Amino acid sequence: MNQTTPTTLAELHIGAQAKIAGFTLAVEIQQRLMELGLTKGATCTLVRVAPMGDPIEVQVRGYHLSLRKSEAQGILIAPLAPASL
């Protein structure tokens, strides 16, 4: 089955990895996130989600970053397949 609907960082499951594919955010927010290392092609992992669902914590480029769920919904991702043994 071919997935044509873009997936967002907010939809990622804990422990899953994905590559940043693009943004649907305001230019100012997109620029700030890119300065923090969330650039197209960067691999990130969802580490945890706060009890009420906001914020979320992702690992990108060797450090942990907390994002608002509204920001994560504007970050398009391409999920990575789990590594096989």
Domain annotation covers residue 85: no
Q: What's the total number of domains in the chain?
A: 1
Averaged pLDDT, 46-67: 93
Q: Residue 71: pLDDT above 60?
A: yes
Q: Residue 63: pLDDT above 50?
A: yes
pTM of the entire structure? 0.83
5 pLDDT band, cuts 50/70/90, is low
Handedness of CA 33, 4, 47, 17 (dihedral sign): negative
Domain annotation covers residue 6: no
pLDDT by residue (tens digit) across 20-56?
Answer: 999 999 999 999 999 999 999 999 999 999 998 889 9
Q: What is the token pair recorded at 18?
A: 């994905």
Q: What CATH number is associated with residue 28?
A: 2.30.30.90
On the CB side of 50, CA atoms within 13 Å amount to 10
Closest CA to 71 of 57, 59, 60: 57
Domain containing residue 67: 11-79
What pLDDT score does 82 carry?
Answer: 67
